Structure 1
Amino acid sequence: MAQVKVTLVKSLAGRPGDQRATIVALGLHKTNSSVVKEVTPQIKGMLHKVEHLVKVEEI
């Protein structure tokens, strides 16, 4: 299964609650924090929702 590294590159200040919740559900907390996730349809949808806040790298 493919994996991606997700890094939070923009602050959550002033963002709607649903975007904040999505970032927390991905396991990100502070700016520049990173997590490695398996690519599933659910993760793809979460990344699409917050694509303007994160950087995604294929591993």
Structure 2
Amino acid sequence: MAKIRITQTGSPIRRDKTQRATLVGLGLNKIGRTVEVEGTPDVLGQVRKVQHLLQVEKAA
């Protein structure tokens, strides 16, 4: 699997608690925080759930 870089760009305030939990599961909890993870189907599903709060790009 390819690595992807995920940056949180939106706030989880006034979001459903499942969306907040998804961000924490991805290792994000503050705007501007970035993580690099494997692009597995599980992770891509989490990204799809909160895609309006994230910026996703391929890691080098």
Normalised by the length of structure 2, the TM-score is 0.95
Q: 2:45 matched to which residue of 1?
A: 45
What amino acid is aligned across from residue 44 of structure 1 in structure 2?
Answer: L
What amino acid is aligned across from residue 12 of structure 2 in structure 1?
Answer: L
How many residue pairs match? The answer is 59
Q: Percent identity?
A: 42
User: Are 1:7 and 2:7 matched, yes or no?
Assistant: yes
What amino acid is aligned across from residue 31 of structure 2 in structure 1?
Answer: T
How far, CA to CA, are the matches of 2:12 and 2:46 in structure 1? 15
What amino acid is aligned across from residue 11 of structure 2 in structure 1?
Answer: S
CA RMSD in angstroms comes to 0.6
Tell me, which stretches of 5 or more residues in structure 1 are unaligned?
Answer: none
Mapping 1:12-31, distance limit 5 Å: 12-31=12-31
How far, CA to CA, are the matches of 1:18 and 1:5 in structure 2? 22
How far, CA to CA, are the matches of 2:55 and 2:17 in structure 1? 20
Q: 2:56 matched to which residue of 1?
A: 56
How far, CA to CA, are the matches of 1:12 and 1:25 in structure 2? 13
Tell me, which stretches of 5 or more residues in structure 2 are unaligned?
Answer: none
Runs of 4+, deviation exceeding 3 Å: none
